[in-house]
């Protein structure tokens, strides 16, 4: 069997790990450096991804394209790929709503490609058992076969386009939603001067919640810029299902207030993060018309 070439869009921390996992499975993995950062270049080199320069070259070279990008640009990237006439297998592994996943599918299918819906749960796939890629769609089994060796576990589920994204939405609506809620609770308690009393009460009635709120900052502040779009996609999915969407739109706003920590070396302390959240909240109040 001829070696399969997988194109990764784009090798951020997660995308690079997916590319590395595909290489472990025997595929050649390519990426396009045009317009990408030095950090992206360093990750791609470290994981043995071959640079083909431009997105157009990547489209021509790839048997399978895997899109791992911020959710807000998933459809835009699909349009560009379809515009280059890609007619093989396109995997959208982004944190998008089922509605957006089906939109992306329609875009690439109009260009002649076969669409596979994907959803990644877990951190960048660097150790066995940490990360799962859920796939749905008619070519899902073919894509799964590319990852038979390596740390990324691939699970095919029934349901067609949108099913894998729906599972990701359901999972992240809790994990990232509760992280946002915990940070908001601590910010409110600080604003009212009862944070120390709250932490003491938690120690009695909800042991471990204080450390979870601190972990929420460590785990999300530097990635908050990516979580904004994901929370908006979750809100869209909830609304489409007939559910209230306001909670996750509020979570998106909270993560937006932490965007300044993108690419910082260390996450802020909980005290610093909540101060930033509250400072921006006060600015919002001052801008409101009286």
pLDDT, one tens digit per residue, over 173-189 is 999 999 999 999 999 99
Per-residue pLDDT reduced to its tens digit, 135-150 = 999 999 999 999 998 8
Q: Is the dihedral of CA 212, 204, 206, 228 positive or negative?
A: negative
pLDDT exceeds 60 at position 93: yes
Q: Quick check: 65 and 58 in contact, CB under 8 A?
A: yes
Q: Residues 265, 271: contact at Cβ < 8 Å?
A: no
pLDDT attached to residue 1: 53
Residue 5's SS3 state is strand
What's the pLDDT score for residue 238?
98
Measured N-to-C along each axis, helices 13-24 and 38-46 cross at an angle, to the nearest 10 degrees, of 20
Q: pLDDT category, 285, cuts 50, 70, 90?
A: low
46: pLDDT strictly greater than 70: yes
Are residues 254 and 184 in contact, defined by beta-carbon separation less than 8 angstroms?
Answer: yes
Helix, strand, coil shares of the chain, percent, nearest 5, are 55, 15, 30
CA 114 to chain centre: 22
User: What sign does the dihedral 86-145-141-74 (CA atoms) show?
Assistant: negative
DSSP 149: S
Kindly report the length of the chain. 290
Burial class of 283 by CB neighbour count within 10 A (0 to 12, 13 to 18, 19+):
exposed
**Confidence class for position 280, pLDDT limits 50, 70, 90:** confident
Instruction: Tell me the percentage of the chain whose pLDDT exceeds 70.
Output: 97
Bridge-based pairing state of the strands 114-121 and 89-92: parallel
Rounded distance between C-alpha atoms, residue 14 and residue 230, angstroms: 15
Whole-structure pTM over 0.85, yes or no? yes
- pLDDT tens for 199-230 read 999 999 999 999 999 999 999 999 999 999 99
Pairing of strands 64-67, 131-136: unpaired
Nearest to 37 by CA among 12, 55, 61, 18: 12
The confidence score (pLDDT) of residue 263 equals: 86
Q: What is the pLDDT of residues 12-38, one digit of tens each?
A: 999 999 999 999 999 999 999 999 999
Tell me the C-alpha distance between 97 and 144, whole Å: 22
Structure confidence at residue 288 as a pLDDT band (50, 70, 90):
very low
pLDDT (0 to 100) of residue 284: 54
């Amino acid at each position: 069997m001829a070696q399969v070439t997988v194109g990764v869009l784009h090798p951020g921390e997660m995308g690079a790990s997916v590319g590395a996992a595909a290489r472990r499975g025997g595929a050649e993995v390519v990426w396009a450096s045009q317009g990408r950062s030095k950090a992206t270049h360093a990750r791609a080199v470290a994981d043995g991804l071959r640079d083909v320069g431009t997105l157009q070259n990547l489209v021509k070279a790839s048997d399978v394209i895997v899109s791992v990008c911020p959710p807000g640009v998933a459809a835009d990237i699909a349009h560009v790929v379809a515009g280059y006439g890609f007619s093989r297998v396109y995997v959208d592994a982004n944190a998008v709503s089922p509605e957006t996943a089906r939109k992306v599918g329609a875009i690439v299918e109009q260009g002649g490609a076969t669409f596979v819906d994907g959803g990644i749960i877990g951190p960048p796939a660097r150790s066995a058992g940490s990360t799962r890629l859920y796939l749905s769609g008619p070519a899902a089994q073919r894509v799964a076969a590319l990852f038979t060796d390596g740390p990324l576990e691939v699970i095919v589920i029934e349901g067609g386009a949108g099913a894998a994204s729906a599972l990701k939405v359901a999972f992240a609506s809790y994990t990232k939603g509760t992280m946002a809620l915990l940070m908001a609770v601590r910010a409110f308690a600080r604003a009212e001067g009862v944070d120390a009393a709250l932490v003491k009460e938690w120690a009695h009635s909800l042991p471990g919640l204080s450390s979870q709120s601190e972990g929420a900052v460590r785990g999300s502040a530097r990635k908050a810029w990516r979580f904004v779009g994901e929370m908006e996609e979750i809100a869209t999915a909830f609304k489409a299902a007939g559910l209230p969407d306001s909670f996750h739109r509020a979570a998106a706003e909270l993560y937006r207030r932490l965007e300044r920590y993108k690419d910082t070396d260390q996450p802020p302390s909980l005290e610093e993060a909540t101060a930033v959240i509250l400072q921006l909240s006060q600015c919002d109040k001052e801008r409101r018309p009286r």
